[in-house]
Amino acid sequence: MGLELRIIVIGLLFFIISGASVAITVGVYNVKDYGAAGDGQTDNTKAFVAAWSVACAVQGKATIVIPEGAYLLGPTIFKGPCNGIMVMQVIGQLLASTHLEAYNQYWLHFQYINGLVISGGGRFNGQGASAWPYNQCKKTQDCKPLPMNLVFSFVMNAAIKSISSIDNMFFHIHIFGSRNITFDSIKISAPGDSPNTDGIHIANSANIQVSNSVIGTGDDCISIGPGCTNLTIFRVLCGPGHGISIGSLGKNAGEKDVIGLYVSKCNLTGTTNGLRIKTLQSSPSTLKASHFRFEQIIMNNVYNPIIIDQNYCPSANCPKRYTSLLLLQNPSLVKITDIKYRNIMGTFLSPVAYNLVCSEAAPCEGVELSDINLKYNGNGKQANNASICVHVYGSSNGNVKPDPCI
């Protein structure tokens, strides 16, 4: 399906679930009517759950209104299935409780919902500065992850638009086991040195679109895990952060393929990476990553612009039994095919523009570099060879600068 058709289809879904066609508006449920106080200090968890429970039980389209004010919330589950379309109009600001002992994995969890709209221009404030010093995941494997801001699991036919997520403790937005969701005009921000503050993470989901959004974090702006199909990302401004990443893939047995990713008209500024695919160097999975297209991308002083890394293994997560010999004997089994980089321009800071390191056991095939103009803007002298290719097969077309190795 082409990009234009995808946008039309997803737009029709939004038109329907927004209530412009068959849905009948039943009522409006203001959280203040259920005891919420927007004073920034009172715990409003029970009030929000009560408003959700009433609205979820009615037929048709129900709107929950969060008016101006600051609403403190502990971990909260907005659970379906509901009897109609749920609309959450967030005008005020939601504040995450800073009592870490109260959390499991999530702050706000939307679960088992078919038909959901979240909009209104409001903010979801994770108050992450109080929690970041407790993030030990880069130092030890046995760390307890901090809670994620907004989680959508087993959600279908949803439109999330015109909201902000700021200073989250861990991931800003996490999508799992979901289908047919659009994220439009989203603003995500956290300091560039905040740990594991991925903007949007997508896993085991299909037909997800992210558009017209601004994401600046301390980790990946958008990260894509296993089991994803038909993802579209366009007109996203990314930076600071680690860029747009697929993976890491191959960490766990039974992971599913990642098929169909279209990234276009995005701008990455000052990010550690640009467009990255990473798989674990000794993976138990034999999944595939294929049919990716990156085009019309602008990079402004991106350190590593184009990367395929099939030797990925972050130090904190590498079993001690791994040695250089074992790594040679146990290369990644993730098969990467049909990856196209087209119409990419801008500046980069590292000595290498294209770092394409694929697996000896499953070489990359069908990698294309076309019409690329990346200029070195680093402090040192530009390397003679700004392109590295290992076990990668493909082609280069048009004007490709720096000179490619395929």
Structure tokens at 303: 């350190």
Structure tokens at 149: 């801001």
CA dihedral 295, 296, 301, 307 (to 10 degrees): 0
Q: How far apart are CA 377 and CA 385, in angstroms?
A: 15
Catalytic residue flag (residue 242): yes
Given a contact cutoff of 8 angstroms between Cβ atoms, the answer to whether 301 and 349 are in contact is: yes
Among the listed residues 109, 174, 242, 291, the single catalytic one is: 242
Give the bridge partners for 390, in sequence order. 357
Tell me the residue type at 71: Y
* Bridging pattern class, strands 187-189 and 173-176: unpaired
- DSSP line for 285-316: ---EEEEEEEEEEEEEEESEEEEEEEEE--GG
Q: How far apart are CA 176 and CA 204, in angstroms?
A: 6
Q: How far apart are CA 25 and CA 311, in angstroms?
A: 53
Q: What angle do CA 403, 404, 406 make, to 5 degrees?
A: 150
Q: What angle do CA 198, 203, 209 make, to 5 degrees?
A: 80
Given a contact cutoff of 8 angstroms between Cβ atoms, the answer to whether 18 and 31 are in contact is: no
Q: How far apart are CA 266 and CA 213, in angstroms?
A: 10
Look up residue 144 and give its DSSP letter. P
Cβ of 371: how many Cβ atoms within 10 Å?
A: 17
Structure tokens at 50: 């009560």
Residues annotated as part of the active site: 242
